[in-house]
Amino acid sequence: MATPLIDSRLSDLLGETRLVMLGSQLLLGLQYRAAFAQTFDSLPPAFKTLDAAALLLILATTALLLGTPALHRIADDGHASVAMVHRASFHLKLALLPFALAFGLDAAIGFVRPVGPWGAGLAGGAFVLGAGFAWYGFPMLIARQSPEEPMQDKQLPLETRIVQSLTELRVIVPGAQALFGFQFTAVLTQSFATLPPSSKAVHLASLAAVALSVILLIAPAAFHRLTVHGNAEQRVLDYTGKVMLWALGFLALGMTGDAYVTVRKIAGSEALALVATAGVAAGFILMLYVLPLWARSRR
């Protein structure tokens, strides 16, 4: 009876990862967009810095969440393994921490005009504590003390692997959707016209990368319908896996490029923007490719 448990555990994990990504997509889009708002420059300097910090935190959340479909495709080829469930579960639990911090920082920025810096700081701290209790404290208080039920690795049927690959695509799409919305509207703002030429070029390159990612993320649905008429075939899974990994790369490239543009606009320092961008790029490379390839080599 222990063996079938891993099927539902993996499906639940992918669904929960998608849920958190949907929750973080709003913050992801807002973080990029906030720096281009007309009234952003009138914020206290400390709160501008908080906005840059919140952007980096929500990017850390996104990298951790996107690491799950990459790990599943590269390390396990869509099958169910105990190592995959444990590592992806760790990614999800860890991702909630920067998410909570970014949520609190954004709350503080939102409160600074009505209640002032001190009131905004208290409000932001209250939101961080509330999220921490709801996401960590309360679940741990009522967690069962009994040992975890045993699981075993399992080779999943082709139909199940195709369904799960489509679920993984739905994990990735919200991040691309939020970023593409910002990239499109940013070009129409007055702030964009004041950016240095290099920042404009990086933004347009990032927009192209995210547009390619969106095209690739939708391609498996068209392939499944038009090529095999919705049937479950191995080539559908192979095509989806390859396209997904390319889409993740282009999406990470777009997020990294616009992190450079946004941090440079907020901080007014190209050097600081480059340092932050290097950290973002390293995080995405680690989560999307290095760790999955390392896990695959250990199988």
Q: For the residues of 49-103, what is the DSSP string, one character each?
A: HHHHHHHHHHHHHHHHHHHHHHHHHHHHTT-B-HHHHHHHHHHHHHHHHHHHHHH
Q: How many C-beta atoms surround the C-beta of residue 116 within 10 A?
A: 11
Q: What is the pLDDT, as a whole number, of residue 147?
A: 63
Distances, alpha carbon 172 to alpha carbons 36, 121, 264, in Å:
25, 33, 26
pLDDT of residue 146: 59
Residue 257's pLDDT is 93
Which tokens in the block code for residue 120?
């905004």
Res 66: pLDDT: 94
Separation CA 76–CA 106 (nearest Å): 37
Q: Which residues contact 112 (CB under 8 A, 6 or more apart)?
A: 43, 44, 47, 120
> HSE-up of 144 (CA within 13 Å, CB side)?
4
Amino acid at 209: A
SS3 state of residue 6: helix
> Locate tokens 């695509």: which residue?
169
What per-residue confidence (pLDDT) applies to 251?
94
10-residue averages of pLDDT along the chain (299 residues): 66 89 85 82 85 93 94 86 89 95 92 88 94 92 71 83 88 84 82 88 93 93 87 89 94 94 90 94 95 87
**Nearest alpha carbon to residue 56 among 295, 229, 262, 293:** 262
Tell me which H or E stretch contains 150: none
Give the distance, in angstroms, between the CA of residue 34 and the centroid of all CA atoms in the same chain.
18
Q: Which residues of 13-35 are buried (b: 16+ CB within 10 A; e: fewer)?
A: bbeebbebbbebbebbbbbbbbb
pLDDT of residue 148: 66
Do residues 58 and 92 lie in contact, with contact meaning Cβ atoms separated by under 8 Å? no
CA atoms of 44 and 99, how far apart (whole Å): 23
pLDDT number for residue 219? 93
At 153, is the secondary structure helix, strand, or coil? coil
Q: Write the DSSP assignment of 197-230 as a string of letters.
A: HHHHHHHHHHHHHHHHHHHHHHHHHHHHHHTTTT
Determine how many CB atoms are found less than 10 A away from the CB of residue 42.
9
> pTM of the predicted model, to two decimals?
0.90
